[in-house]
Amino acid sequence: MRIEVLMDDHRLRLQLNRDVPSLEWYFKPGYVFLAEEFRQAHRQLVSYFETYVRLLPRLTVLYDTSPASLLSAEEAKYAAAHITPLMVAAGLRREAFVVPEDVFMQMLIEDYKTHTQDTLEVGIFRDVGDARQWLAAL
């Protein structure tokens, strides 16, 4: 698998998977994003997406939220209202989420899916392999 790590810090790892193709965002276990950190990280994701979609026109996004501790409903709504439109305008058509057992996180992602259903196809999965397979089928 051809993977290039773009960012790796105490909050998340962001990598480019050229085989799928996708930008893959992995939340670090136990880290709780502060609102501004969450927004800044998403602005970086938009920048990477705008850069790499030129080289990989079918580029998708995979979020592995399974180790995530807590994300506020406000930040999920922010992503749907402010980040997703930028990504869709740049060419995003499909996103996959790997969800944790945590019911609250699952509800946030389902809510996000509802808010973006008119512009974006969102898949929800239990493991990264299934999510990658679905994204690659685009």
User: What domains appear along the chain, each with residue ranges and CATH number?
Assistant: 3-136 (3.30.750.24)
Query: 25 falls in which pLDDT band (50, 70, 90)?
Result: very high
Of 39, 69, 55, 63, give the one whose Cα is nearest residue 120: 63
> What is the maximal distance between C-alpha atoms in the chain?
37
What is d(CA 85, CA 106) in angstroms, rounded to the nearest whole number?
22
Q: Is the pTM of this model over 0.75?
A: yes
Query: 35 falls in which pLDDT band (50, 70, 90)?
Result: confident
pLDDT tens, 68-109?
656 777 888 888 889 999 999 999 999 999 988 778 778 888
Please compute the mean of the pLDDT values over residues 100-121 and round it to a whole number: 85
**138: DSSP letter:** -
Checking if the pLDDT of 27 tops 90, the result is no
Is pLDDT larger for residue 101 or for residue 24? 24
Residues 47 and 40 sit within 8 Å (Cβ to Cβ): no
Please compute the mean of the pLDDT values over residues 120-134 and round it to a whole number: 95
Checking if the pLDDT of 29 tops 90, the result is no
Question: What pLDDT is recorded for position 70?
Answer: 62
Checking if the pLDDT of 135 tops 80, the result is yes
